[in-house]
């Protein structure tokens, strides 16, 4: 089991600090251990009290974890004081953990409250930065380090390059505080720069966002990702966690660290190269994502493996920018190479590879769906390890030649009764059908032609969302 240690403060509201870290570790299926540096009384409105844990107790916690569990990854967050910073740095050196260390130089909470006494940031820079695999300051923290204001992506890039000279092997300046339609994070290493951009999410959530990002990077590095891949996966996770955040508290609420798959499956788009030419498909998918599509599957029959892989990578990048999962139809090898979030197979495809085997190849958090045409097939798919099943065809469809006769709501009700995992309705579905299908037990609807062939894919996707919202109400 992969173990990741977080050395950080406790947040009584559960949105930031070690609580956010542990939720993030669980989302990436790694085991989280902790060394608590401070106990804070805080909520979404602010921090009302802080109790610093003595450096000797912090050291004892670190040693207790490492002597027994070890650690494949380590991250630091709130360290509270200069003494604690020095103690943590000494134990990192003692245990030889610098090659797996992510340093989040936390100085203030997202509500603005101070979380570091004295000149603690200076000591973090002097003692921890030279040990770190990557440091992850936000814009205010980067401004404090370089001693000047940062107002643009270019400013952030220059600051990251300057911070790189202070000793870390890589610097990620988080761009959430900058203005603009996209939130752009800039990764700088000795080998060059990489920008990670995602559309800004319209939400008042965000409490613990920096903790979550650094924890996700630490988890992915511990699982064996290279740094750029780890940052990309972490960025996608945080964007999705912001997009799915529920309103909690009266202030800046927490992220959705664990995302309900049923919500992810609400509007499932099959990006079918049989309906839209491969060269045009990314444009159409981008428009559908703007309309509220919640998951995208690439179905690319007839393309070569290289063509499928190139298209999968392009679509995955589009989906990641929106925090939307991306899966590949049938081809586990393409899904793996494209770093897709999962794969979808036909029920007969389980004879070639089981859902459990697909998840072993793609990772424990992979989404693995199976098409079914009966309650018995659905039960077997769940027993084999499927994450969800798609039941159909609901109605007559021309987008899949071998779809079979329409089965309608009776099939959907039977499948819903046979399994505990989410059920998606598929086959000939239009927005006008959605209410009936939700009433029959569908967690989501799977659509191809009704969106892909529409004159305005964005409006077509929104039509499904409006029907779903009315049904939920």
**Residue 110 has which token pair?**
């997202």
Query: Alpha-carbon distance 180 to 100, whole Å?
Result: 33
Q: Secondary structure of the chain: what % helix, strand, coil (to 5)?
A: 45, 20, 35
Residue 286 to residue 169: CA distance in whole angstroms: 35
Which of the following is catalytic: 400, 416, 434, 462? 400
Angle at alpha carbon of residue 31, lines to 30 and 35, rounded to 5°: 130
Residue of 371, 416, 434, 462 marked catalytic? 371
The strand pairing partners of 103, in sequence order, are 76, 135
Cβ–Cβ < 8 Å for 140, 113: no
Q: How far apart are CA 418 and CA 210, in angstroms?
A: 41
What region does 299 belong to: left with phi over 0, alpha with psi -120 to 50, or beta? beta
**Would you call 299 a catalytic residue per the annotation?**
yes
Q: Choose the catalytic residue: 23, 220, 299, 380.
A: 299
Cβ neighbourhood burial of 333 (10 Å; 0-12, 13-18, 19+)? middle
Other beta carbons within 10 angstroms of residue 187's beta carbon come to 24
371 in catalytic set: yes
Closest CA to 422 of 244, 270, 260: 260
Active site residues: 299, 371, 400
């Amino acid at each position: 089991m992969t173990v990741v240690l977080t050395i950080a403060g406790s947040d009584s509201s559960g949105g930031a600090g070690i609580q956010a870290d542990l939720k993030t570790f669980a989302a990436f299926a790694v085991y989280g251990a902790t060394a608590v540096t401070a106990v804070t009384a805080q909520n979404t409105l602010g921090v009302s009290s802080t109790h610093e844990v003595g450096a000797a107790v912090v050291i004892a916690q670190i040693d207790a974890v490492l002597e027994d569990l070890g650690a494949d990854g380590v991250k630091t967050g709130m360290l509270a004081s200069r003494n604690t910073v020095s103690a943590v740095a000494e134990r990192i050196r003692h245990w030889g953990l610098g090659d797996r260390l992510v340093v989040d130089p936390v100085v203030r909470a997202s509500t603005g409250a101070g979380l570091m006494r004295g000149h603690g940031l200076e000591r973090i820079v002097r003692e921890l930065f030279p040990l770190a695999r990557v440091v992850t300051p936000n814009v205010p923290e980067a401004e404090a380090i370089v001693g000047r204001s940062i107002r643009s992506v270019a400013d952030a890039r220059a600051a990251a390059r300057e911070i790189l000279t202070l000793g870390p092997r890589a610097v990620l300046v988080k761009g959430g505080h900058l203005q603009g339609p996209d939130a752009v994070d800039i990764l700088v290493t000795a080998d060059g720069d990489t920008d990670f951009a995602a559309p800004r999410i319209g939400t008042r959530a965000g409490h613990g966002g920096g903790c979550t990002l650094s924890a996700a990077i630490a988890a992915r590095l511990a699982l064996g990702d290279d740094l750029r891949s780890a940052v990309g996966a972490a960025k996608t996770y945080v964007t999705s966690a912001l997009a799915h955040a529920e309103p909690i508290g009266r202030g800046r609420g927490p992220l959705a660290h664990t995302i309900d798959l049923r919500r992810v499956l609400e509007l499932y788009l099959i990006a079918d190269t049989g309906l839209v030419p491969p060269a045009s498909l990314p444009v159409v998918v981008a428009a559908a994502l703007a309309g509220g599509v919640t998951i995208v599957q690439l179905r690319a029959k007839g393309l070569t493996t290289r063509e499928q892989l190139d298209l999968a990578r392009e679509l995955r990048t589009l989906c990641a920018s929106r925090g939307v999962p991306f899966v590949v139809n049938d081809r586990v090898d393409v899904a793996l190479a494209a770093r897709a979030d999962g794969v979808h197979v036909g029920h007969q495809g389980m004879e070639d590879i089981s859902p459990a085997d697909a998840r072993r190849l793609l990772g424990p958090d992979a989404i693995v769906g199976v098409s079914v045409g009966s309650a018995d097939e659905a039960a077997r798919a769940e027993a084999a390890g499927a994450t969800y099943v798609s039941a159909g065809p609901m109605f007559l469809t021309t987008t899949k030649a071998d779809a079979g006769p329409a089965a309608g709501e009776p099939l959907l009700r039977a499948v819903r009764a046979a399994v505990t995992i989410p059920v998606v309705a598929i086959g000939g579905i239009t927005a006008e059908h959605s209410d009936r299908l939700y009433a029959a037990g569908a967690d989501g609807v799977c659509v191809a032609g009704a969106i892909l062939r529409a004159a305005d894919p964005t409006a077509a996707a929104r039509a499904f969302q409006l029907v779903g919202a009315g049904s939920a109400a």
